[in-house]
Chains A and B, each alone.
Chain A
Amino acid sequence: MSTLLQVQNLSVSVGQHCLVDDISFHIDAGEVFALVGESGSGKSVTSLAIMRLLSDGLHIASGDVHLVGQSLFTLTEAQMNGVRGRRIAMVFQEPQSSLNPVHTIGRQIGEVLTLHRKRSGAELKQDIIALLEEVGIPDAEQRASWYPHQLSGGQKQRVMIAMALACEPELLIADEPTTALDVTIQKQILNLLNELRKKRQLGILLITHDMGVVAEMADRIAVMRHGQLLEQAPRDVFFSSPKHEYSRQLIHSLPRQDAFRKAIAQEETPLLEMNNVCVWFAQRKGILQRIAGYTKAVDGISLTIGHGETLALVGESGSGKSTAGRAILRLIPTTYGEVLFNGLRIDQLDESEFIDLRKRIQVIFQDPFSSMNPRMTVREIIEEGMISLNVGGNDGKWNKSEREQEIRRILQRVGLEAEHLDRFPHEFSGGQRQRIAIARAIAVKPQLIICDEPTSALDVSIRGQVLQLLQELQQEMGLSYLFITHDLSIIPHIAHRVAVMKDGKIVEQGSTQAVMQNPQHEYTQQLLSAVPMIPEHV
């Protein structure tokens, strides 16, 4: 195979600070080269440097990039425009924001074709339809005149790929192409990319942080950290004998899939019981705002969570799993059904009666950046719930110094230091923020914590630490978790039992081992088979 792209000693810096530090690699035609690393490691900057699309302030300090023997850094801007899109194409992470919402998809693909290949008229239309068919959009002739909002997330990503392929580029740069997608869709897109590169002898630079995707797709792998290329190896060599300590860490960041948590013996009354709970949102129409129908976000789910138990609620985006969590917290009213806490019916209590239960049921959100008021200090954040819910020691009230002591104790428990109390959330990293969010939740001494995707915004290495902390706390405080997630790989590690949700309904429920190893429902099987796996021989 011939060398398609050659990157030699590339360095990118902003001011004195080096973002990409002297990296070299090459990509052959028809090869998938994966650039792996956590956020901030310089992967995306590298790809932008290759395209010469670095934003102001960043500059290429040294090095050279050759595309089939031609140096890209010596081209004029006009010549470079002929390369971008024509010979090197790019697919981004967010298909939603990469497509222009006011133009039809046909027109957006057509724009690239007219620009670079001077197509027009019937020929143009034919090309568009052929491309859409190639990326697997059904009924392509009609869909060409659709607008982006009429397509699903996976279809939009397919359209993005069709646009990238329109000019038959030699190299495709895919920057986290599946991160925003659900696992089943991810599987489809990855398959599509694989097919295309075989058919077209396309070189693909795949940028990702997901080791599963890498294991599935890549021919060769390079690991980046702090702008440096730590290791480069063919896939099999990489997974069987990683040279660098950090590579080993990355591979092991995926918890083992064969060690399951055993279900624990339960008392008579479960901690939380949901019977046939529905959350419907009314759709209103007309001037009089009459109710025309319902969006059934949660449609009759029943589940139980025992004392000290973790129930994982799994499903793809839009399946209603977060809504179910919010319904337990009464952030959203339930339409039908009953919710029992310790045998007591709680879904019909009014706000003042419910306040007592707010101490017992707490929540940890997904995004550690938006879950804390940026204008409050850590102390204020943790203290807020304690004050408003009147949390005290064994005999009720705490005075100020006692509360202060408790806050310090909790903060240290979650792995932060007491000096951090007067800082603001923005001074912490994502993982530290999530620790603060955990501290805030356990400060009111709850029995049940609803964890709404608490680790999906975190890097893999930090994800493991946060999960570890949650488990330790479970053992110490006898907590129960409702663990809402779309990430199937962490479930064996954290959950005792699993419930799988699809379109507002629970399709399968059971012990983790049973569901993961012997899924009964078709959808569960589909989900599990879509999860990219790392080869076992590590």
Chain B
Amino acid sequence: MTFPRFSDFSMFQPMLLWSDILIFILLFSLIAFFINLSRNPVARARWRHVFTTRIGSGAFIVIVFYVLIALLDSLHFRTALPPVEGSDGAISQEADGTVHYSQDVRSVLDIILHDLDSQDEKTYSAPFALYSFAKENQESDAGYVIRAFPRLEHGGKHIVRDEEHVLDIWVKTARAIGLTILPCLLVIFLHSAWRRRKPPVEHPLPWTVIYTTLTILVLLCGWVLNLSQYYHILGTDKVGQDVLYQSIKAIRTGVLIGTLATLVTLPLAVVLGIAAGYFKGKIDDVVQYIYTTLNSIPGILLIAASVLLIDVYIETNPEQFKLISERADFKFIALCFILGVTSWTGLCRLLRAETLKLSQLEYVQAAHAFGVGDWRIIFRHILPNVNHIILIALVLDFSAFVLAEAVLSYIGVGVDPSMASWGNMINEARAELARDPVVWWSVSAAFILMFVLVLAANLFSDRVRDAFDPRSVHGRV
């Protein structure tokens, strides 16, 4: 879907993919959630407890960092194509006044990464390499044809003599860190000075950890942005694309699949689970029947079949998908949906059991005795008391889905191959790891980025569970 365009900005055409819309809806509902939360003193105290732990706040910052990258990568646009040769020049001066836009959908993140995607090499090259990883026929000065490693087209092209190479990396690293650490220290200094003027709070946030995490992330960004202008920091893949660029682009895929699929499971699990536990009888029978049936079908089989169905749909309706990215996006959302629909049963079971227990408690009976209606009882008495379960399942599911994407792409039923994703990178690594010498950087990059995200999400969910579990000390109401 496309926005009506403004003639003044006709160089760019903003573009909203369906997944972009979803991610922004998600963002706004999250903001609304936190505003709502700040009004409830108990919930606020509990969340505060999550952030006063060192691991909690550190993991949260890392997650926010990933989400920010995903958000930047969700601001899409298309650039206008230069006028076709033969027409009389300036843009939007064609006979019918239309401008043609590139088939390439780009995002704000691409601009920040200063067009790493256009700096393709011919094939594999190692991280920071000057030379390609594969030999080529070259003509020597003397006119012979020799086989040698050719210089890369973009990576390290400013290096004149090979001996400068290592030194150059260190100099550039030092410069990048030096340039970024100064403003960091300044901000930290100003903030802690400002903080000292305020009266001390009872449970202070772990500022040392927050400063350290933020500084490390900023330093990393500065270093990556700086050096990636000169080198392929993580090398290039088979067709010469920058691996760093790919793995950063894959963040959006990972974060989105985690959140969207979780969001699909939530309403299904919550509505069906609570309905089964509260109304019992026939409704309970039906819900139990559905989830037992669903659970006994192998998940992968179900997902593979559904993905193939989506493929067929795309093939037979090409007119709905004019751009490659639109097609990839459709397939991606469908995948999130399928993942969500096939994995709500666990949470549903938990909620059913908990609701069964709660609905026998005396405060629910007391509400019945006061003539409170079923819906009101569910919203006021049941839902708030199963909230902790939902919250914990939500965060745990997130990391499970990120990993599931990798597995599904690996067996070939994951996201579209044109879309950068860690799963696709790992899939390609099958061939790369079988080569000799081994091409290790692609799979390592995917592994590290995925590992950090999932680890942060898991650590964070641990803290959330500690704070919200009624059985733990901090969660006790």
* A residues with CB within 8 A of B: 326, 329, 331, 351, 354-355, 358, 361-363, 365-367, 370-376, 384-385, 388-389, 424, 426, 437, 440, 444
Contacts and interface: CB of A to CB of B under 8 A. Distances in A.
A384 to B, nearest CB: 6
A44 to B, nearest CB: 20
A365 B476 contact: no
Contacts of B477: 374-375, 424, 426
B42, B369, B372, B373 — which one has the most chain A CB atoms within 10 A of its CB? B369
A361 B385 CA distance: 27
A329 B369 contact: yes
B384 A388 contact: no
A188 to B, nearest CB: 31
Contact of B363 (A351, A354, A366, A372): A372
B365, B371, B376, B381 — which one has the most chain A CB atoms within 10 A of its CB? B371
A374 B364 CA distance: 11
B362 A365 contact: yes
A361, A374, A440 — which one has the most chain B CB atoms within 10 A of its CB? A374
A365 B372 CA distance: 17
A370 B363 contact: yes
B157 to A, nearest CB: 63
B362 A371 contact: yes
A444 B366 CA distance: 13
B370 A384 contact: yes
B367 interface: yes
Interface string B156-197: 000000000000000000000000000000000000000000
Given A365-B365, A367-B362, A370-B362, A375 B384 contact: yes
Contacts of A424: 42, 477
A373 B369 contact: no
Contacts of A355: 371
B371 A362 contact: no
Contact of B371 (A363, A370, A374, A389): A389
B476 A440 contact: no
Contacts of B363: 370-373
A370 B370 contact: no
A363 B371 CA distance: 12
B369 A384 contact: no
B366 A358 contact: no
B106 to A, nearest CB: 47
B42, B370, B384 — which one has the most chain A CB atoms within 10 A of its CB? B370
Given A376-B380, A389-B370, 8 more contacts: A358-B370, A363-B366, A363-B369, A370-B361, A374-B385, A375-B42, A384-B380, A426-B477
A444 B385 contact: no
Contacts of B373: 388
Contacts of B114: none
A331 B368 contact: yes
A86 to B, nearest CB: 34
Contacts of A437: 366
A440 B380 contact: no
Contacts of A372: 363, 366
Contacts of B371: 351, 354-355, 358, 385, 388-389
Given A358-B370, A358-B371, A363-B369, A373 B376 contact: no
Contact of A384 (B362, B365, B367): B367
Contacts of B385: 373-375
A445 to B, nearest CB: 13
Contacts of A388: 370-373, 376
A372 B380 CA distance: 12
A355, A372, A388 — which one has the most chain B CB atoms within 10 A of its CB? A388
Contacts of A385: 370-372
A83 to B, nearest CB: 32
Interface in B409-431: none
Contacts of A373: 363, 380-381, 384-385
Interface in B385-422: 385
Contacts of A362: 369
Nearest to B285: A289
29 contacts: A326-B365, A331-B365, A331-B368, A331-B369, A354-B371, A358-B369, A358-B370, A358-B371, A361-B369, A362-B369, A363-B365, A363-B369, A365-B362, A370-B361, A371-B363, A371-B366, A373-B381, A373-B384, A374-B477, A375-B384, A375-B477, A384-B367, A384-B372, A385-B370, A385-B372, A389-B370, A426-B476, A426-B477, A437-B366
A389 B369 CA distance: 10
B367 to A, nearest CB: 7
A57 to B, nearest CB: 11
Nearest to A369: B362
A84 to B, nearest CB: 28
Nearest to B476: A426
Contacts of B368: 329, 331
A351 B476 CA distance: 36
Contacts of A363: 365-366, 369
Contacts of B476: 426
Nearest to B381: A373
A27 B319 CA distance: 93
